[in-house]
Amino acid sequence: MRDDTKCLHSGYTPGNTEPRVVPIVQSTTYVYDSAEEISSVFDEPTKSLIYSRFANPTVMAVESKIADLEGGIAAMCTSSGQAATLLAILNLCDAGDSFISIAQIYGGSLNLFSFTLKKMGIECIYVDNDATEDEITTAFKPNTKLVFGETLANPALTVLDIEKFAKAAHSKNVPLIVDNTFPTPILCKPIDFGADIVVHSTSKYMDGHALQVGGVIVDSGNFDWKSGSFPGLTEPDMSYHGIIYTETYRKAAYIIKARMQLMRDFGVYPSAHSAFLLNLGLETLALRMRKYCENATEVALFLKTSNKVTNINYPGLKDNKYHNLAKKYLKGASGVITFSLVGGKEAAIKFMDTLKLASNVIHVADIRTCVLHPASTTHRQLSEEQQKAAGLDPGMIRFSVGLEDIEDIIEDIEQALEVI
């Protein structure tokens, strides 16, 4: 199946007289005929349902749809994008380990990596998104367990050279994890370019309607865990009667460990109802992504015509620094544009407050056009130096183009620009 079809049909195939639409299985637990049967389920937890803290039929339908869209072998949904990033890393790093990440990542990831993981004894080594392969491999320490990047960074809008980062990671026998939130699998499938694990905040385009926060981890099944140093996967798990994930689950070792061990212990699984809503968003994802790209291109071209606007950053534009990488890796540059105004931060605030159609929200990638000033909101906790490293300037506006009629979006921008 192609993506448009997968969006509608992957993950759930009803049998005779079964519901046409993925049903909401709103139950914490599942009934068994005998106590003996229940105890056997604990020996083979991937074969049956036990408890909705780590598996639920509605959520599983969505997991398999997303895995199919990304070209992975399996996926696990989480209750937020942050939880997906956290578990994706904790599944490989213990206290005393380190990992490499590009510096131009989402603000929430930056906080998690720089402060919370550090407190847990896990060090993040930052490299630039534009680092050479040599610079990436030189940053490795003997305890480095993975490389992390963001396909199209929020809000820096840098484009990751996935093949380069995958090559550097694989030369050191560690996997590449990619946050693919902004492109979604419709605009980019990082696994096709060598990424091993993909994470998402499904709160953005995947849900699309700003209905609920969620995340997902997708496993390509391609990484050979035995080639590196991953005792958590290749040695007995004493919290699971000595199971060895790579032996029992082979290609699916990573994602099954994440569920059986980390989801069991952290319990950040979404509800059936949330998954049901996410599925509704996914059904139109392919259609919506094309329209976001189309509208955002028009907005970016319009902004270029104004002498009040500077630093227009949209990788879909020909003169953008990342246009060639965008052409290689993305089928479109999504709906997010950043820019500054000649009057700096003050003008930016005035502009944002004058917009009528576009709303001020702490959100992005919504079906409705929205704006945000990253330096005073999502990146407020960072120092100016960290903000710069993350690729943002103090006056920068993040403009998330929605699916309204393009004439209405442009008229709104026009009237707000007139005021400044």
Ligand X SMILES: *Cc1c(COP(=O)(O)O)cnc(C)c1O
In angstroms, the CA 172 to CA 82 distance is 26
Dihedral angle over CA of 350, 355, 360, 363, nearest 10: -120
Tokens 């290749």 belong to residue: 234
In angstroms, the CA 109 to CA 157 distance is 15
The stretch near ligand X (CB under 6 A) out of 69-77, 200-208, 257-265, 298-306 is 200-208
Query: Rule CB under 6 A: is residue 80 a binding residue for ligand X?
Result: yes
Taking the complex as a whole, the smallest distance from the CB of residue 401 to ligand X amounts, in Å, to 15
How far from chain centre, in Å, is Cα 362? Answer: 17
In angstroms, the CA 330 to CA 185 distance is 10
CB-nearer residue toward ligand X: 155 or 232: 155
Pick from 65, 164, 170, 204: which binds ligand X (CB under 6 A)? 204
Query: Rule CB under 6 A: is residue 151 a binding residue for ligand X?
Result: no
Taking the complex as a whole, the smallest distance from the CB of residue 231 to ligand X amounts, in Å, to 28
CB-nearer residue toward ligand X: 253 or 333: 333
Query: Rule CB under 6 A: is residue 373 a binding residue for ligand X?
Result: no
Taking the complex as a whole, the smallest distance from the CB of residue 112 to ligand X amounts, in Å, to 9
Under DSSP, is residue 14 helix (H, G, I), strand (E, B) or coil? coil
In angstroms, the CA 4 to CA 285 distance is 8
In angstroms, the CA 270 to CA 391 distance is 32
Tokens 């994802």 belong to residue: 285
CB-nearer residue toward ligand X: 286 or 365: 365
Query: Rule CB under 6 A: is residue 150 a binding residue for ligand X?
Result: yes
Pick from 108, 343, 344, 394: which binds ligand X (CB under 6 A)? 108
The conformational region for residue 223 under phi > 0 = left, psi -120 to 50 = alpha, else beta, is beta
Total binding residues toward ligand X, as defined by CB under 6 A: 15
In angstroms, the CA 49 to CA 396 distance is 48
Pick from 144, 201, 295, 338: which binds ligand X (CB under 6 A)? 201
Site string for ligand X, 81-100 (x = CB under 6 A): xx------------------
CB-nearer residue toward ligand X: 106 or 223: 106
Site string for ligand X, 35-74 (x = CB under 6 A): ----------------------------------------
Question: What is the number of other CB atoms lying within 10 angstroms of the CB of residue 250?
Answer: 11
Query: Rule CB under 6 A: is residue 154 a binding residue for ligand X?
Result: yes
How far from chain centre, in Å, is Cα 254? Answer: 18
CB-nearer residue toward ligand X: 169 or 390: 390
3-class SS string, 371-396? EECHHHCCCCCCCHHHHHHCCCCCCC
Query: Encoding tokens for residue 364?
Result: 């992005």
Pick from 190, 194, 215, 221: which binds ligand X (CB under 6 A)? 215
CB-nearer residue toward ligand X: 12 or 106: 106
Contact residues: ligand X, CB under 6 A: 80-82, 106, 108-109, 150, 154, 179, 181, 201, 203-204, 213, 215
